[in-house]
């Protein structure tokens, strides 16, 4: 079967986008991606929109149809992909399927979310609706799961609290060089460790912010890609997997089953191993999740990811740079956009367009986590020319 290529990428400014709304943000990234790929809109056959909750956040549904209209992409087929906070990764998988199945020879994927016009409480209510009602009604929201898991991890593996903070320090350092990031500023360890407690032992700076923004990717068969670009990326492996929706039913709270299973599938499909990965974007919605994904994906043994972070192994000049984009922590986390933006960063690293964030990479990986690992999509990309 022919491989699926990525030939263009874009992302809007992430952050507080006052005066904008979801329809604008999607169009902004979509137009820029068409330009970046050099593709005429009439050649787009399928158009996917990764978005979790435009209805809940803005009272507008049908946003894929609105986007097709705004881009003048009719009669391109369009659909919304929702997989909660991993809607973007699910969008990459849907777009991959549309091309790999032969249904489309040119698929534009745009992910976006508009959130900051809501109060933090209102936004948290929408996000919490993705957890199981049996847990939600007891107040066990995603941040509280993160706190419980972090405490368990630190005690069980004798890891210092500082190691979690160093994830945030690193990702903020990377974000300084990302002009689209919500926070383009460094944060020192002391500030993190003295920030207000949210879910003990995690503090404010262990959490990603609430964000507006949009990101896009253009996918096509490799034979078509060659007509458009000298350098492009291919998706060599992709898979998605669920874990229990009731989080407390999991046997080991430090093992994210969806990460392990989707990673296994993506490695197998691409015929790669963890050692082959040169750069990775992980879903650092909470600092503890970066440890769990590093371990679930085989970058570290169970209970040892914190040591690699302490050693600088995952810094931009380290052995395996993780979250060169700044991650969700610094770049921001507009739900439906985040997984797409992970793909944008890996694509740009592979084709040498990452500017001051550039690392030496032929193979990259993104891991996009829905809920607290309730569904996870792992994508492996390789440079091609």
Residue 124 contacts a second copy per CB under 8 A? no
What radius of gyration do the chain's Cα atoms show?
19
62 counts as binding a second copy under rule CB under 8 A: yes
User: In a 3-state reduction of DSSP, which class is residue 140?
Assistant: coil
DSSP notation for 5-47: EEEEEEEPPPB--TT--HHHHHHHHHHHHHHHHT--GGG--EE
Three-state SS for 213? strand
Out of 126, 176, 193, 359, the only residue in the binding site for a second copy (CB under 8 A) is 126
Q: How far apart are the first and last CA of the chain?
A: 18
β pairing state of 197-199 and 232-242 = unpaired
Q: Which stretch binds a second copy (CB under 8 A): 35-43, 178-186, 217-225, 240-248?
A: 240-248
Binding to a second copy by residue 252, rule CB under 8 A? no
> Whole-number minimum distance, CB 227 to a second copy, in Å?
22
The C-alpha atoms of residue 138 and residue 35 are separated, in whole angstroms, by: 48
Say if strands 375-384 and 363-370 run parallel, antiparallel, or are unpaired.
antiparallel
Vertex 331 angle, CA 108 and 361, to 5°: 70
Smallest distance, a second copy to C-beta of residue 128, A: 9
Query: x-or-dash pattern for a second copy, window 1-30, by CB under 8 A?
Result: x---------------------x-------
Among 378, 324, 328, smallest CA distance to 350 is for 324
Q: Does 61 bind a second copy (CB under 8 A)?
A: yes
Rule CB under 8 A: say whether 65 interacts with a second copy: yes
Decide if residue 41 touches a second copy (CB under 8 A).
no
User: Does 69 sit near a second copy (CB under 8 A)?
Assistant: yes
What is the largest distance, in Å, between two alpha-carbon atoms of the chain?
A: 57
- Residue 98 makes contact with a second copy by CB under 8 A: yes
- Answer for which of 60, 119, 120, 223 binds a second copy (CB under 8 A) is 60
| Contact call for residue 371 and a second copy (CB under 8 A) | yes
Closest CB to a second copy among 254 and 374?
A: 374
Contact footprint for a second copy (CB under 8 A): 1, 23, 52-53, 55-56, 59-62, 64-66, 68-69, 73-84, 90, 93-94, 96-98, 100-103, 126, 129-133, 239-246, 257-258, 261-262, 370-371, 374-375, 377
């Amino acid at each position: 079967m022919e491989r699926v290529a990525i030939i263009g990428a874009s992302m809007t400014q992430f952050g507080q986008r006052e005066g904008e709304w979801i329809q604008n943000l999607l169009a902004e990234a979509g137009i820029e991606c068409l330009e970046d790929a050099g593709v005429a809109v009439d050649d787009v056959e399928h158009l996917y929109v990764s978005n979790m909750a435009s209805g809940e956040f803005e009272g507008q549904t049908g946003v894929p149809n609105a986007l097709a209209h705004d881009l003048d992409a009719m009669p391109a087929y369009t659909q919304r992909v929702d997989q909660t906070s991993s809607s973007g990764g699910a969008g990459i998988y849907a777009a991959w399927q549309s091309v790999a199945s032969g249904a489309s020879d040119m698929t534009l994927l745009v992910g976006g979310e508009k959130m900051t016009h809501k109060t933090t409480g209102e936004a948290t209510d929408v996000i919490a609706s993705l957890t199981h009602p049996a847990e939600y009604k007891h107040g066990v929201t995603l941040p509280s799961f993160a706190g419980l898991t972090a405490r368990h991890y630190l005690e069980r593996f004798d890891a210092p609290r500082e190691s979690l903070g160093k994830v945030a320090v690193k990702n903020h350092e990377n974000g300084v060089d990302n002009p689209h990031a919500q926070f383009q500023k460094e944060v020192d360890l002391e500030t993190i460790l003295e920030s207000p407690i949210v879910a003990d032992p995690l503090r404010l700076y262990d959490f990603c912010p609430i964000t507006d923004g949009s990101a896009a990717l253009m996918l096509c068969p490799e034979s078509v890609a060659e007509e458009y670009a000298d350098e492009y990326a291919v998706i060599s492996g992709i898979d998605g997997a669920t874990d229990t929706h009731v989080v407390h039913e999991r046997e080991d709270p430090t093992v994210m089953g969806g990460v392990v299973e989707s990673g296994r599938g993506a490695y197998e499909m691409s015929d790669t191993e963890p050692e082959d990965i040169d750069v990775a974007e992980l879903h650092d919605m909470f600092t503890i999740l970066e440890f769990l994904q590093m371990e679930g994906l085989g970058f570290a043994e169970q209970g040892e990811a914190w040591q690699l972070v302490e050693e600088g192994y995952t810094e931009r000049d380290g052995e395996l740079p993780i979250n060169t984009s700044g991650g969700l922590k610094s770049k921001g986390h507009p739900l439906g956009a985040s997984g797409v933006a992970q793909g944008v960063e890996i694509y740009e690293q592979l084709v040498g367009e990452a500017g001051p964030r550039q690392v030496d990479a032929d193979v990259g990986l993104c891991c996009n986590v829905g809920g607290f690992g309730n569904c996870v999509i792992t994508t492996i990309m390789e440079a091609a020319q």
